[in-house]
Amino acid sequence: MELKLDLDKEYGLVLEGGGAKGAYQIGAWKALKEAGVKIKGIAGVSVGALNGALICMDNLERAEEIWKNIDYSKVMAVSDDTIKALKNKNFKSLGLTELINSGLQFFKDGGFDVTPLKNLISEVVGDEGEIRNSCRELFAVTYSVSDRKELAVDVRTSEIGTVKDMLLASANFLAFKNEKLNGKKYIDGGGFNNVPINVLLDHGYQDIIVIRIYGWGFDKERVVKIPENVTVSHIAPRQDLGGILEFDKRLARKNMTLGYYDAQRLLYGLCGKVYYIDAPNSEPYYFDRMMSELELLKYYIKDIVTEEGMETLTGYRTFTEKLFPKLAADFKLKTDWDYKDMYLALLEDMARRLKVKRFQIYTVESLFDEIKRKIKLQEEQNPVL
């Protein structure tokens, strides 16, 4: 595979806010790190600022450990069992008194007590030395309620002893109990600037990678004009990452894997909507493959073609004029689709139906071989009498 990013360049990383969805960012960073992409600086908001601190310290192992073992009680002073019972609507497992007391305490405190999150930040940041001495810049975006303005704090050069507070200020979600930090009140910066690409632009970055997780807040990237000399690349999920407060280790591990492979899509220009396919050849190659694999395609797609039936489909024109346009509509391909798009859509549809493993990088040849293997296995398990 050919790397699409220039490893001689230094990149700025924009990390969106989104609470528990932040595991995705760590998976994406792992792929960037493995590929040798140089990160010069990070602009993060909310969980993006917290992940940014780990990236600033170049501590991938610690980042993975945190997210692989995340739970509600690691962020908020709550019982994991209580939260999971509420999530699953399993009210029978909760005593009525416990349920009422939990609700009353929440309103009395003015939100969730995030002492566990404070402790986690304190543990990660330590004496601030690793962040302050890092070769990477880190900008944490927050909103000062006291000063009524958005702030993009240069964490490395902030006042000694304030790094932990500034990271917490950026992540001070509305559902969290809001306490003063250094005499001022702050709230999660995501409500005002959840994709702080402007921060890196203001600091002269010309090569920027944005890792989207689609959290709650204002997407400032949409209203920022990108200068002609700036290149912006995106890594983004194509499926729901779960809730902002869904701090579940199983979901976090899944989202890290998704982030890792979605970053590979950017790094190597991989094709596919669901699968990750290395397909560097031109359109004629894929048309020839479709025609040479006709019997297998007939076997599999016979239930989704025209009412005429597969046995009536003979000759190239029948396929190009009847079958492929219908499949293009079924697969919701773009109006300007070509035969490469069609072949990849067929492969993905067959792979999905046959439950082929998703998280792996395939060539079109290796994915086709896996599809054939699955079909053969299916035929052996369900022989025609």
Q: Mind telling me the catalytic residues?
A: 46, 188
Task: Output the CA torsion sign for 213, 218, 219, 221.
Answer: negative
Identity of the residue numbered 45:
V
Pairing state of beta strands 10-15 and 361-363? unpaired
Best CA proximity match to 293, nearest among 353, 210, 367, 200: 367
- d(C-alpha 4, C-alpha 37), whole Å: 11
CB 43 within 8 A of CB 199: yes
Per DSSP, the three-state class of 27 is helix
* DSSP secondary structure, 93-160, as one string: GS-HHHHHHHHHHHHHHTSB--HHHHHHHHHHHTTSHHHHT-SSEEEEEEEETTTTEEEEEEGGGSPT
Q: What is the DSSP letter of 194?
A: S
CB 215 within 8 A of CB 53: no
Geometric angle at alpha carbon 238, from 233 and 239, rounded to 5°: 145
Pick left, alpha or beta for residue 197 (phi over 0 → left; psi -120 to 50 → alpha; otherwise beta): alpha
